[in-house]
Copies of this chain bind each other. A is one copy, B any other.
Amino acid sequence: MSGIEDVASLAGVSKATVSRALSGRGYVSAETRLRVSEAAASLGYVVSSSASSLVTGRTNNVGVIIPVINQWFFGSIIEGVERALLERGYDLMLYNLTKSHEERTRVFEYFLVRKRVDAVIAVTLEITPDETATLLALGKPIAGIGGPLEGIPTFGIDDVAAARLATEHLLLLGHRDIMHVGGDIDEQMDFHVHSKRLMGYMDALTAAGIPYDHDSYVAARFDIPGGYRVGKQILGDPRRRPTAIFAASDEVAMGVILAARELGISVPDDLSVIGIDDHPLAELFGLTTIEQRPDLQGEQAVDWVIGQLDQPGWRPPAQHTVLPARLVMRSSTAPPRPRLP
């Protein structure tokens, strides 16, 4: 394991010059730079990041805190963030914060603080004011993905608007009897996605002059089996069956579609279904949906924190950056079947 000293003597220069030549900072003649690079290459030298962070105070790491990994939305974020970081020369330290409070505390109080990261990206994580303070006190840029959050800039779609858009699509097709299958408000994921999507749904109904019926919202676990179970339950009862369902996520929507198929209910003839996400499987299911791009949300968060690192003191124009969410029409929605008199 050769050090900078070896490179220096092989190239016939001082350590200082080697450092300058390799890092590209400060004056170094072209000729010297070449000699140094060659020496470094021939020795297989690579700078020690610990030594260099010790003096510069920069680790070139960004910490990412995420509650789940194995779900499309979260996996896509990680992919986007990772790609963006790698491109910009940063490494990604992953912290998977599951429900456990203990784990959470440990990460916050111990790992993140340990001068190991230059910045933090918190995905869909409700950070308490205390924790925000902790992080801000470190002077490290923090960005959030998912929704407005007090005190830190966030990137994500407008969940209320997306839900409204989805519901409006159904209304526009002529549906009046629209149910919403969403996440459990009490078992709220952080960032209040569930209540926001419910709100968008209600907004749209209200605007259309349709009274909101309390039973028309049903909570489901936020995955395919969750949607399936609730679908079976709702659609199994003919008196209860709506003409359209707005599911709060594509996975839930696909679960509902599976349930419908099993019950012999034709989508979209007997039932229209719309979701949110544009999940990779949405196409297979012909699912009409509201597209969002978690990977781009991640990328933007990266851009912001790195911008902060590059020019400290700079602040973003907006506290919450709204990314686009657009309607993707497929074959799971259609006008309701005309009622026979």
Residues in B with CB closer than 8 Å to A70 are 72, 75-76, 78-79
Question: Which partner residue on chain B sits nearest A78 by CB separation?
Answer: B69
Q: Does A159 contact B (CB under 8 A)?
A: no
A311 at the interface (CB under 8 A from B): no
Contact flag A93-B92 (CB < 8 Å), given A54-B51, A69-B75: yes
The segment out of A15-23, A113-121, A141-149 that lies at the interface is A113-121
Residues of B within 8 A of A49 (CB): 50, 114-116
| A147 → chain B closest CB, angstroms | 21
Q: A91 within 8 Å of B by Cβ?
A: yes
Q: Is the CB of A46 closer than 8 A to any CB of chain B?
A: yes
Chain A residues 60 to 76 lying within 8 A of chain B, measured CB to CB, are 61, 69-72, 75-76
A91 to chain B minimum Cβ distance, whole angstroms, is 5
Digitize A183-208: 1 where CB-to-B-CB distance is under 8 Å, 0 elsewhere: 00000000000000000000000000
Q: How far is the CA of A27 from the CA of B284 in the complex (A)?
A: 65
B96 touches A83 (CB 8 A): yes
Contacts of A331 in B (CB 8 A): none
B93 x A61 contact (CB < 8 A) = yes
Q: Does any Cβ of B come within 8 Å of A222's Cβ?
A: no
Across-interface contacts of A258 in B (CB, < 8 A): 284
B86 touches A284 (CB 8 A): no
A155 near B: Cβ within 8 Å? no
Encoded as 1 (CB less than 8 Å from any B CB) or 0, chain A from 76 to 100 comes to 1011001100100001111110000
The number of residues on chain A lying at the interface, defined by a beta carbon within 8 Å of a beta carbon of chain B, is 47
Interface membership of A14, Cβ < 8 A: no
Minimal Cβ-Cβ distance residue in B for A48: B115
Q: Are A82 and B96 in contact (CB under 8 A)?
A: yes
Name the CB-closest residue of B to A73: B70
Whether the pair A93, B96 counts as a contact (CB closer than 8 A) is: no
Whether B91 lies near A111 (C-beta < 8 A) is: yes
**Min CB distance, A51 to chain B, in Å?**
5
- Write the chain B residue with the least CB distance to A134: B44
Q: Closest residue to A251 on the B side, CB-wise?
A: B281
Q: Is the CB of B54 within 8 A of A284?
A: no
Q: List 9 additional A-B contacts (Cβ < 8 Å) besides A82-B96, A224-B281.
A: A46-B113, A50-B115, A61-B93, A70-B76, A82-B94, A91-B116, A225-B284, A255-B284, A261-B261
Can you pick out 17 interface pairs between chain A and chain B where the beta carbons lie within 8 Å of each other? Answer: A46-B114, A47-B115, A50-B53, A50-B54, A50-B59, A50-B115, A69-B75, A69-B82, A70-B72, A71-B75, A83-B96, A86-B96, A86-B107, A93-B93, A223-B280, A224-B284, A228-B284
Which residues of A approach B to under 8 Å, CB–CB?
46-51, 53-54, 59, 61, 69-72, 75-76, 78-79, 82-83, 86, 91-96, 103, 106-107, 110-111, 113-116, 223-225, 228, 255, 258, 261, 280-281, 283-284
